[in-house]
Structure 1
Amino acid sequence: MRDFFIRGYEIVLTLVIVAAAVGVAVAAIGAMIGPISLGAEVAPLQGPYAAAAILLGGWLAVLVIGGALYLGLGIYHNTQRTADALELLITLRR
């Protein structure tokens, strides 16, 4: 049952990261199309500069957060493999 939840978490994590990356791209396209109005003021970055800033910052955030979450999954899998190897070693020594 534990493996079911870990695999499910991997699938959900992948879907969320892909959706976040697509969301960043859509936000960048939206920023390129029209200016962002902050009340009566206009945003300091407009057009392609705003799109580049959103793409760079957004994808960097997705990369860092997604990498940290996948790092946790990698630690889990490495710990599981180590436990299996130690169990096999103990079984062979008997």
Structure 2
Amino acid sequence: MSSEDTLSVKLRPEIVAVPAYKQGRPAPADGYKLSSNENPYPPLPSVVQAVAATLGELNRCRRRRRRPARAAGGAARGQHRRGAPG
């Protein structure tokens, strides 16, 4: 996209009316500044539970779960895995 292309874009008046983003003030010399997606508090208990419930499956390869479906789809089209009967 060239700069000429961007000039031809027409924005709705509602979008044009939104004020431009202005960066907030800098952190004090003896402090830290958090980004908008950071939080100084610990995670909520519900988040901890959701993550803990998923930890046992993080090392699983999802492709392995598709083998039965893939084999059934191939068999329906007359395709069979090498070395498999049929």
**Same fold by TM-score, threshold 0.5 exceeded?**
no
Structure 2 length-normalised TM = 0.25
Structure 1 length-normalised TM = 0.24
| Larger strand percent | 1
| Larger helix percent | 1
